[in-house]
Amino acid sequence: MTQDEKNNTDLSPEQEAQVVEVEQEQATSVEDEDDAFDPAMFAQVQEMMEKLQRAEELERELGDLKGRYARLLADFENYRRRTNQDVLDAQGVGVAKAAEEMMPIYDDLTRALEFGKNDPSKIVSGLESVSALILRTFEKLGLSPTGKEGEAFDPAFHEALSVVPGEQDGVILQVYQVGFRMGDRLVRPARVVVSQGSN
């Protein structure tokens, strides 16, 4: 005999009836809960489950996107580093090419000085030769001189140091310093004296 049965035997018939009634109500209550399926609540639970699943999918997508972003950032940094190195290499090649073109000029200047020590009259012809060699070297590098006497003044390529009265307007009368350009790009402006017509 179980403890509950012992307890039930000690009860009066009225008390036993109440215990049985309470047990029946509890059993009915559990059955009612099982039978009382709430479709609205089920729909809410289902919606929450779908949202949780979507949140997990979005977190995976975000993780993938973060990984792609990190790889793209690393690729861009590598590209930038390579490009900077390519620019430095190209500059080095350009400087080396220019220096290589200038070496014969140095050689000719050294020869002119050697000949000048023995015969000073040869210095002028030596320097003229060096000057012609420099201009040829500049042409090889893509530079062309600008600003010759009699040429029309162009403010894009010439810098007027002074303006003097003359027969024609805007003509270069004197060149203090030859300018150089590379195509349409000015490297150094010519420093000139310009005429101004008396109109």
Domain chopping of the chain, boundaries: 144-199
- pLDDT < 70 positions in the chain: 1-11, 27-36, 199
The DSSP symbol for 161 reads E
Residue 158 has, within 13 A of its CA and on its CB side, a CA count of 24
Specify whether the CB–CB gap between 154 and 192 falls below 8 A.
no
Fold held by 144-199 = Nucleotide Exchange Factor Grpe; Chain A, domain 2 (2.30.22)
pTM for the model stands at 0.50
Residue type, 57: E
- Residue 96 to residue 83: CA distance in whole angstroms: 20
Specify whether the CB–CB gap between 195 and 171 falls below 8 A.
yes
Taking only the tens place, the pLDDT of each residue in 86-143 is: 998 888 888 888 878 888 888 888 888 887 788 887 788 878 888 888 888 888 888 8
